[in-house]
A and B are shown apart, each in its own frame.
Chain A
Amino acid sequence: MSFVLTTTELTKRYGKLTAVDKLNLQIPKGSVYGILGPNGSGKTTTLGMILGATIPSSGSFSWFDSGDAAHHRTRIGSLLEKPNFLPNLNAVKNLKIIAEVKGCGYSNIDDSLRITGLFDRRNHKFGTYSFGMKQRLAIAGVLLADPEVLVLDEPTNGLDPKGIVEVRDIIKNVASTGKTVILASHLLDEVEKVCTHVAILKKGEMLSENVLDEANKESEIILIEAQNQELLGKLMAEYELNSVRFNGVYWQADVPETFDTAALTTWLVEQNCPPTMIRKVKPKLEEAFMKVIGEGI
């Protein structure tokens, strides 16, 4: 498997605060790689470092197996935080600046504006755009040079529902052509819908790199409730269930898909703790995420 980006012990400190701590990432070519984490988890700092805007305190990274040369970034379409354009320039002139930086000519400008639905407003000044339109122009800038890799930081921020669907479609379309997409988001739903790989960051550390596998694996979660919840918890642990935890309403545990719910129910009745509710469900990314983050649902 070849990787478009490899980070090695990548670290960023602001004084005593460690924003990103020894991050090791390997992003496979052709993947849609989600970086998931709550606010302040280091997602944007990580993207800032790999895109050259933030200087790492230590560690290294390499794009396409050959260091951080600026010309690599011309092969990457990036949207970091909010769209950065000149308010007194129209969409076309703002995209011309990006085209000059990337050395890709102006021929794709109209197409990028059409894809993002801004063609009719191309001669209007950026300062007159709504936030959603600004975000669309940033995506037009990302697509301009037909990049090999897309790096997107909260790309659906500020978009209306139609815009969100359109951006997700763009990401899926780009991914379907074999290109790599790196997507940072705190929106689980967004990541779940478009990503093939997910890493979770919390306080600058990577907690899990395969959480989507966790969410999609052939295992399920069993949810149980009983009148005597305290006893139920003890009995579930005694039954040797994996990852027994209380989510505030139900006791839950990870079980294989073939798990026999009836056998557990019978045993609990025999232990004088009949369940008032027992249900087996497919874990969603949200549950996997919360489990990794360690906050419980």
Chain B
Amino acid sequence: MKLLKIEWIKASSSITFWLMLGLYIIIVPLLLHFFNNFYVSINEIEVDVSELAQITAVSFWPFLYYLTSYLIWIPIFLVVMNLSSDRNNRLWKQHVIDGLSRNELFTGKMIYIGFVSLFVTLAVTIFGTGFIFLTDIEYSASMWNVMLLNSIAFFACHFLYMVMGLTLNLIIKNTALTLILFLAWAWIVERVIRFFDKSNVTDFLPINSFNDVIVNPFIELLMLNESQLTQETAIISSIFWLIIFGGYSWYYFTKSDL
């Protein structure tokens, strides 16, 4: 509770914090609106994507969580900014000399990342629920189970990405460079490596593992021939990366000079 309060005092006075969360809250409904009015042209006939996908309340959730996972860079930006602010103002050092243990320092950051992940998961879930009840999507009671499983995967994916962001920021020690390198790795480097690797071993690289924690419904829908880990394998691979990244961050907070 103490750690959460400390992070809250810091975050709630930050314009960036509210700006990023506000941006997220604005973009998610816009994305839903776009999804509801998205047509593709098949043989010169305009087809509603939601009809094409035969969207029901059950099948809606994988699409929603998958599409909104593209907004992941907003919370990552938030976390990297939070870390940079703490580091640049030497708050970690101050917290330790004031009486916070090194483990609490690490736990505080994990709580912050967990809080942001929870916030975005709740935001998407609440907007998604509203969307189902406001549109003519066929409702079914079993949608809650599907929602729960997909929301956990969505939360986990965000948490994993942000722990990787935390680790990169601790290594690089520069806000802009961290974001540029992280984006470059996720969008270019890892894809290039996977493109040249025909053995599919590189499917286990971190970004691909994290992405595959959320099932991509378009692969099945559009029958894409895309290499993808099963969700179970992606979770195991992600746990491995979580241990690597989380372990480095823990080591940094507990064993290095501040």
- Chain A residues at the B interface, C-beta cutoff of 8 Å: 48, 51-55, 70-76, 78, 80, 82, 84-89, 93, 96-98, 100-103, 141, 151
Distance in angstroms from B113 CB to nearest chain A CB is 19
Give the size of the chain B interface in residues (CB under 8 angstroms).
Answer: 27
- Chain B residues at the A interface, C-beta cutoff of 8 Å: 2, 5-6, 9-10, 13-15, 85, 89-91, 93-102, 104, 255-258
**Cα(A86)–Cα(B11), bound, Å:** 11
Which residues of the other chain, B, contact A101 by a CB distance below 8 angstroms? Answer: 2, 6, 95, 98-100
**Interface CB pairs A-B, < 8 A, 7:** A53-B257, A75-B99, A85-B94, A86-B10, A97-B95, A98-B94, A101-B100
Partner of B89, one of A74, A75, A86, A141: A86
Give me the 9 closest cross-chain CB pairs, A-B, nearest first. A74-B99, A70-B101, A84-B94, A73-B99, A84-B90, A51-B97, A101-B98, A78-B97, A53-B258
Is A55 a contact of B91 with CB atoms below 8 Å?
Answer: no
New contact pairs (5) apart from A73-B96, A82-B90, A100-B6, CB-CB < 8 Å: A54-B257, A75-B99, A76-B99, A84-B91, A93-B13
Is B85 a contact of A86 with CB atoms below 8 Å?
Answer: yes
* Minimum CB distance partner of A50 in chain B: B97
* Minimum CB distance partner of B86 in chain A: A86
Q: What DSSP secondary structure best describes chain B's contact surface?
A: helix
Which residues of the other chain, B, contact A82 by a CB distance below 8 angstroms? Answer: 90
Is B89 a contact of A73 with CB atoms below 8 Å?
Answer: no
**Centre residue among B10, B93, B96, B99 by max chain A CB count within 10 A:** B99
Is A86 a contact of B2 with CB atoms below 8 Å?
Answer: no
**Centre residue among B14, B94, B102, B256 by max chain A CB count within 10 A:** B94
**Cα(A97)–Cα(B85), bound, Å:** 15
Partner of A52, one of B10, B13, B102, B256: B102
Which residues of the other chain, B, contact A71 by a CB distance below 8 angstroms? Answer: 99
Is B98 a contact of A78 with CB atoms below 8 Å?
Answer: yes
Distance in angstroms from A55 CB to nearest chain B CB is 6
**Cα(A103)–Cα(B101), bound, Å:** 13
* Minimum CB distance partner of B101 in chain A: A70
Partner of A102, one of B13, B98, B258: B98
**Cα(A55)–Cα(B101), bound, Å:** 13
